[in-house]
């Protein structure tokens, strides 16, 4: 007999029928748990269930919805059924791996475009409407996905981001368009540090991408819980199901996908959803609320999988069918808005990078944000593993103060960064190598350390600027520099020379037409209006990539190199993300 508490997201009868028929989409929003002595998890892994490799039999200690209470937890793979069993020695375990019962369907594309869009519209409308509004809040970025949910429910809207971030601006605009009750959380560095501790404890993940996504999710959920709501609706899944990613739109040329068509690239992306769900569900639940994802209901998945490639991507447009479908209730301004990934739209990724560099974890160190996160959480006794007993509470060891590398045990990589800084200082003292003037360079130099901010893909005042900041080391004459900028996703590259200049002209660079011409394309030490002719510590070289010729999208990258022409020396090189 299956108890109600043994299964989440569906009835035992529904799951039995899905197993018998081999039906991967039996009309649920995802499920996981114990049915007839076997653990089950739906085809997209929208719910979580763990088995203990060390526990015996079918008792509560053998499996759990939360890994914290298990000695050696293993997440059941999506689409799997794993019988629990015992043996005479009392050492029974979940059968290794279980068996794959369900796989994501790959139907032939619907040939009637009107019918395909109508099916998406009906599926989304029904799935959102059945969520209900009791105890509900909406995670709201102002994009088409979250607005498609928010416009059909009676619930407050929550957004988190740094002031000036894309998400705060878009959320304000979209909330006004649908007359929504928007509640904002303006994120601070202290919020990031506190949330990092909580999400690492909850998810066991420390890499920059996962932490950058989980932190704003946690901060929104935390505010929602504090306001007395216990459910959080998200627009999750639309990008994966409806072709929202640049790598899907550019298949098969984009190296990030193996597929040779847009439809196949969409499927490849959708198959990555189960890994995302473990991170997102655990981060949100750690804040005390239950996530709800109506755009991932089986009926929406089924309608999305039937779309032809041209209703996923058409020209520069993505999520074509989804946008057409929800325009029935979503204002045009939101339906047409390009979305930024959560970690970039909130500016959390940028500020995590900034915090890491401020604490001595420079970008020249491989995976510097992860090293910073691990140093931060190690100081609290948190590791990147699930702890017995579950979430360690909300850690407080860093709360209320900024931390530095001197405040905690320093990693080997952190020591390398400090050693570099000390070496520069020692060279200055013992050899008189710090600059007396712009012409006084280190022997064999010049040598310097620099960094480039992530490039904003927006079209506003900050849009598409490449900003390279001199951090330490030799000052150099700007006239001796050349700057190489490459955008591999667009197969464009240009080298800027003849600096500084009052306004950027075609004679100032070689290669592709990449930069904005005139005074609008330069600032800082590249502009004669702003420079003293020397690039030194704390000063920035700023160049703008022309949007009309190279329209950057979040998830792309920009490669930057600075050369000292007389010495034929590369001073600095880095690849930064577009956000």
CATH number reported for the structural domain that contains residue 317 in this entry: 3.40.50.620
Could you tell me if residue 371 is inside a domain? Answer: no
Q: Are residues 245 and 313 in the same domain?
A: yes
Of 66, 100, 134, the last residue of a domain is 100
Indicate whether 281 belongs to any domain.
Answer: yes
Residues forming a β-bridge with 93: none
Residue 403, token pair as written in the block: 């931390």
If asked whether residues 190 and 96 sit together in one domain, one would say: no
Strand partners, 558: 576
Whole-angstrom distance, CA of residue 246 vs CA of residue 426 = 47
**Whose structure tokens read 């600075």?**
562
SS3 helix, strand, coil % of the chain, rounded to 5? 35, 20, 45
Do 175 and 289 lie in one domain? The reply is yes
Task: Going residue by residue through the chain, which has 579 residues, state the pLDDT in tens, using 9 for 90 and above.
Answer: 455 569 999 999 999 999 999 999 999 999 999 999 999 999 999 999 999 887 655 555 689 999 988 888 999 999 999 998 643 333 333 444 568 999 999 999 999 999 999 999 999 999 999 999 999 999 999 999 999 999 999 999 999 999 988 899 999 999 999 999 999 999 999 999 999 999 999 999 999 999 999 999 999 999 999 999 999 999 999 999 999 988 898 898 888 889 999 999 999 999 999 999 999 999 999 999 999 999 999 999 999 999 999 999 998 789 999 999 999 999 999 999 877 889 988 999 889 988 998 888 876 667 889 999 999 988 666 655 444 334 444 444 544 334 444 344 444 445 545 455 454 444 444 443 333 333 344 456 688 888 898 898 876 667 899 999 888 888 898 888 999 999 998 989 999 887 888 888 877 888 888 998 888 888 888 888 778 888 888 888 999 999 888 989 888 899 999 999 888 889 999 999 888
In a domain, 513, yes or no: yes
Q: Which residues contact 555 (CB under 8 A, 6 or more apart)?
A: 245, 246, 247, 341, 577, 578
- Please report, for residues 184, 233, 356, 424, 443, the alpha-carbon distance to residue 417 in angstroms, rounded to integers and kept in the order given: 37, 42, 11, 11, 22
Domain of 504 in residue numbering reads as 448-577
Instruction: Classify residue 175 as left (phi > 0), alpha (psi -120 to 50) or beta.
Output: alpha
Whether residue 208 is found in the same domain as residue 341 = yes
pTM for the complete prediction?
Answer: 0.73
Same domain, 519 and 477: yes
Can you tell me the distance from the alpha carbon of 223 to that of 527, in angstroms, rounded to the nearest whole number? 44
Please indicate, yes or no, whether residues 14 and 131 belong to a single structural domain of this protein: no
Whether residues 283 and 184 share a domain: the answer is yes
The 10 Å CB-count burial string (b at 16+, else e) for 467-487 is: bbbbebbbbbbbebbbbbbbb
Question: Do 494 and 558 fall into the same domain?
Answer: yes
Asked if 283 and 179 sit in the same domain, the reply is yes
Among residues 315, 349, 383, the one where a domain terminates is 349
Is 225 among the domain residues? yes
Based on the structure, what is the number of domains in the chain?
Answer: 3
Are residues 153 and 34 located together in one domain of the fold? Answer: no
12 and 146 assigned to the same domain: no
321 with 453, same domain: the answer is no
């Amino acid at each position: 007999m299956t108890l109600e508490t043994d299964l989440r997201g569906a009835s035992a009868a529904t799951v039995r029928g899905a197993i018998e028929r081999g039906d991967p989409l039996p009309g649920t929003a995802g499920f996981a748990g114990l049915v007839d002595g076997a653990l089950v998890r739906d085809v997209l892994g929208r719910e979580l269930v763990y088995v203990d490799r060390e526990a015996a039999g079918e008792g509560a200690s053998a499996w759990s919805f939360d890994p914290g209470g298990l000695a050696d937890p293993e997440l059941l793979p999506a689409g799997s059924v794993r019988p629990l069993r015992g043996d005479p020695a009392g050492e029974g375990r979940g059968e290794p791996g279980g068996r794959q019962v369900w796989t994501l369907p790959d139907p032939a594309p619907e040939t009637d475009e009107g019918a395909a869009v109508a099916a998406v519209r009906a599926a989304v409308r029904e799935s959102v409407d059945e969520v209900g509004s009791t105890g509900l809040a909406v995670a709201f970025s102002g994009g088409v996905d979250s607005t498609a949910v928010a416009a059909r429910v009676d619930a407050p809207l929550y957004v988190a981001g740094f002031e000036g971030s894309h998400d705060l601006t878009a959320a304000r605009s979209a909330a006004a368009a649908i007359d929504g009750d928007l509640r904002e959380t303006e994120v601070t560095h202290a919020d990031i540090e506190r949330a990092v501790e909580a999400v690492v404890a909850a998810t066991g993940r420390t890499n920059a991408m996962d932490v950058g996504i989980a932190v704003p999710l946690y901060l929104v959920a935390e505010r929602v819980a504090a306001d007395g709501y216990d459910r959080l609706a998200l627009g999750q899944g639309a990008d994966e199901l409806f072709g929202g990613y640049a790598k899907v739109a550019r298949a098969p040329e984009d190296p990030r996908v193996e597929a040779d068509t847009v439809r196949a690239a969409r499927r490849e992306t959708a198959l990555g959803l189960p890994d995302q769900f473990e991170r997102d569900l655990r981060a949100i639940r750690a804040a005390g609320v239950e996530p709800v994802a109506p755009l991932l209901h089986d009926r929406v998945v089924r309608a999305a999988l039937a779309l032809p490639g041209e209703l996923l991507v058409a020209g520069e447009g993505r999520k074509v069918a989804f946008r057409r479908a929800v325009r029935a209730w979503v204002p045009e301004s939101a339906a047409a808005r390009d979305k930024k990934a959560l970690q970039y739209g909130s500016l959390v990724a940028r500020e995590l990078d900034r915090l890491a560099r401020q604490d001595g974890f420079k970008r020249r160190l491989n995976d510097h944000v992860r090293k910073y996160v691990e140093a931060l959480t190690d100081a609290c006794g948190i590791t990147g593993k699930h702890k017995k007993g579950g979430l360690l509470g909300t850690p407080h060891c860093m709360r209320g103060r900024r931390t530095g590398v001197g405040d905690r045990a320093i990693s080997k990589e952190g020591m390398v960064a400090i050693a570099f800084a000390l070496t520069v200082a020692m060279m200055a003292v013992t050899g008189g190598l710090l600059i007396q003037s712009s012409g006084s360079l280190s022997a064999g130099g010049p040598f310097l350390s620099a960094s480039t901010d992530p490039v904003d893909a927006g079209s506003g005042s900050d849009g598409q600027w490449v900003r390279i900041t001199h951090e330490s080391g030799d000052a150099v004459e700007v006239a001796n520099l050349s700057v190489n900028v490459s955008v591999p996703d667009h197969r464009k590259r240009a080298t800027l020379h003849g600096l500084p200049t009052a306004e950027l002209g075609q004679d100032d660079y070689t290669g592709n037409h990449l930069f904005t011409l005139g005074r609008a394309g330069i600032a800082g030490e590249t502009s004669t209006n702003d420079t003293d002719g020397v690039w030194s510590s704390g000063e920035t070289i700023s160049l703008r990539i022309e949007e009309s010729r190279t329209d950057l999208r979040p998830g792309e990258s920009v490669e930057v190199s600075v050369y000292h022409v007389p010495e034929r020396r590369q001073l600095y090189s880095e690849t930064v993300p577009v956000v």
